[in-house]
Structure 1
Amino acid sequence: MKPSTLNAQANAVVDCQSLSKNYGKTRALANVSLQLPAGAPIALIGPNGAGKTTFLSLLCGFIHPSQGSVSVLGHPPGSTQALRKIAALPQDAWLDPTFTIARQLRHYAQLRGLSKSQAHSEPLRVLERVQLADSAQSKPAQLSHGMRKRIMIAQALIGQPQLVLLDEPTAGIDPPNVKIIRELIAAEADNATFIISSHNLDELEKVCDSVVHLAKGQLQGINSINAAENEGYITIAIRHANSGDHALDCLNAVTGVNHVTRKGSTDFVVEFNSIAYPSMDITLLTALAQQRIDYRRLTKGRSLEEQMFS
């Protein structure tokens, strides 16, 4: 996937120009220039040490650039104007075990500058958004890990920020809670722009429309997850690994297939001419059925992992 840029817009939520950050002799972020528009959720990906946490910390104003500039919603990070419009959930955020959820959220609301009456009503509003209004008087120890994570996301929604930064929001939680968080982000995307840092590429692919890729502190590219270049690919997973060689031969023999890449024992990425063969998905499934090869999943396009790292 070749580096590109998202369409620059006047309402960019993040604008970086030659942004760099050094820790002593170590350069954590190197000459990053980008503009991120308001709107659909944006994924932030890269291996450990890529500079993701440094980038988010710069946006929050927790640290300052060594070189270059950055603005958030048109304001310097850490300024009063920016802090009123931005919220962040660090990966290692935690809840105080001694206070109820409602009391903690009221405290956060007051810290964000809400009036006393607003701070009293805001916890219920955000708890309803994460489907945990019944847990307002509970203490953290009474809730599951996934429920506590949802509470912390509720905290990030206090005051209706315009930009929400989430660091590994679904790490270590069960599928039902992941689904609730995914649906919440999709629902709130009309009110705020989300930047989500995660190693879970499958989950990012479900919720984000674009991806910022960092590696070794450098910007590798900014791409649309559903870019036109993803046309002409189909990803197929078969049920039984012992049919892998047979499936590879079968798929390669289909007329119109240019190339088949095998991923592991059961997954295959098929490259073809989508204009000449618009019904290739049906053709592939028919070919597999004729050879008595059971398939488990067919997806048009390639996975985010395949797009970014193939």
Structure 2
Amino acid sequence: MNLIETDKLTKRYGSKLALDGVSLELKPGRPVALVGPNGAGKTTLMSLLCGYIRQDSGEMRILGHTPGHAALLGKVSALPQDALLDPNFTVIEQLGFFARLQGFGPKDAQHEALRVLELVDLKDSAKSKPGALSHGMAKRVAIAQSLIGTPKLVLLDEPTAGLDPANARAIRDLIASTSGDTTFMISSHNLEELERLCDTVLYLDKGKLSQSLSLSSLDAKRSVAEAHLTLSLHSEARADLQPRLSSLPGVTHVKAQASGREFILSYAPKPTGHDTYELELALFRLLAQEGISYRQVLNGKSLEDKLFS
């Protein structure tokens, strides 16, 4: 059974068309990235999936049910970007209350609240009030709330926005570690982060689903005719580097990014795959000989280039 199905999903706010005939099918699995410019319809799509608002036309199903159906209680949850905790109650009181709303008994609700707090490594803060928590800790508590009852689908809106690197990494690790039981749909502008977590990418633009990509499938398709290496440097490259890269074995084209610190090397792969290793060895020899410090060599293109090139 599909996790999410939509067919020609359309939503208007007065004269503004927020979603324009969006059709998609998603199966349970690895996290899904929801990408697009501000005003593209991402929040509207999430609100429809939660059952907060109704579509003007089109069909929508989650696990075979319409959003908001009683059968989905405890199976779908969401974390808005600006979610706030009640300052008057302790963390454990709030999470226990939300567990009760999902049907847990009093004792089981406390156990469930402690379980999700342990997932976000905040069990020791159970009796603290939100005012005593840092911004990153409060965000992790909010994510713990979304995991109560081990839902099948969790919708996250900018889950790491404004967080320090340590808390952002903790949230990424949590999403990765719980993806076996829960499918996450993550709306974010941080493409590098989404590339680490997600396989499927949905790109909304002006209310339309302009691209739906499986990154692993896309890489497999492109490797038949054309493959890529992405070279990222610590500092801006010398003017002669691009032609030197173009002369490496098998390279058909080199695209320099505007920053002067990143190059995309295109080459035609061979069935054996040995040409990839030969090219990588030649690239590393060139960098070593010229004393060029690199930040990263990526086998393929970045998500940004896959979407916009």
Identify the TM-score tier after normalising by the shorter chain.
over 0.9
Q: 1:79 to 1:230 in 2, by over 3 A?
A: same
2:248 is matched with which residue: 249, 254, 257? 254
2:228 is matched with which residue: 214, 228, 233? 233
CA–CA distance in 2 between the matches of 1:114 and 1:245? 65
Match of 1:294 in 2: 293
2:117 is matched with which residue: 105, 111, 127? 127
The answer as to 2:284 corresponding to 1:285 is yes
Is contact 2:4–2:61 with CA below 8 Å preserved after alignment? yes
Superposed displacement of residue 249, structure 1:
2.0
Secondary structure, counterpart of 1:269 in structure 2: strand
Paired AA for residue 283 in structure 2 = L
Paired AA for residue 250 in structure 1 = R
Match of 1:86 in 2: 76
CA–CA distance in 1 between the matches of 2:74 and 2:141? 20
Deviates more, 1:269-278 or 1:158-167: 269-278
Is contact 1:247–1:293 with CA below 8 Å preserved after alignment? no
Paired AA for residue 175 in structure 1 = P
Match of 1:209 in 2: 199
Is contact 2:92–2:113 with CA below 8 Å preserved after alignment? yes
Superposed displacement of residue 261, structure 1:
1.1
Match of 2:162 in 1: 172
Q: 1:230 to 1:166 in 2, by over 3 A?
A: farther
Secondary structure, counterpart of 1:260 in structure 2: strand
2:101 is matched with which residue: 107, 111, 116? 111
CA–CA distance in 1 between the matches of 2:238 and 2:158? 34
Paired AA for residue 253 in structure 2 = H
Is contact 1:19–1:69 with CA below 8 Å preserved after alignment? yes
* 1:14-53 mapped onto 2 (5 Å cutoff): 14-53=4-43
The answer as to 2:265 corresponding to 1:265 is no
Identity of aligned residues (%): 47
4+ runs of 1 displaced by more than 4 Å? none
Is contact 2:74–2:150 with CA below 8 Å preserved after alignment? no
Secondary structure, counterpart of 1:245 in structure 2: coil
Paired AA for residue 265 in structure 2 = V
Superposed displacement of residue 230, structure 1:
5.2
Paired AA for residue 235 in structure 1 = T
CA–CA distance in 2 between the matches of 1:28 and 1:244? 46
Paired AA for residue 256 in structure 1 = G
Match of 2:88 in 1: 98
Match of 1:7 in 2: none
The answer as to 2:186 corresponding to 1:196 is yes
Superposed displacement of residue 83, structure 1:
2.9
TM-score of the two chains, using structure 2 as the length reference: 0.94
Superposed displacement of residue 107, structure 1:
1.1
Paired AA for residue 50 in structure 1 = A
Q: Which runs of 5+ in 1 are unaligned?
A: 1-10
TM-score of the two chains, using structure 1 as the length reference: 0.93
Superposed displacement of residue 286, structure 1:
1.3
Is contact 1:230–1:302 with CA below 8 Å preserved after alignment? no
Match of 1:155 in 2: 145
Q: Which runs of 5+ in 2 are unaligned?
A: none
Secondary structure, counterpart of 2:29 in structure 1: coil
CA–CA distance in 2 between the matches of 1:121 and 1:296? 45
Secondary structure, counterpart of 2:239 in structure 1: helix
CA–CA distance in 2 between the matches of 1:256 and 1:272? 6
The answer as to 2:52 corresponding to 1:62 is yes
CA–CA distance in 2 between the matches of 1:187 and 1:296? 27
Match of 1:183 in 2: 173
CA displacement, residues 179-219 of structure 1 (integer Å, 9 cap, x when unaligned): 11111111111111111111111001111111111110001
Is contact 1:247–1:288 with CA below 8 Å preserved after alignment? no
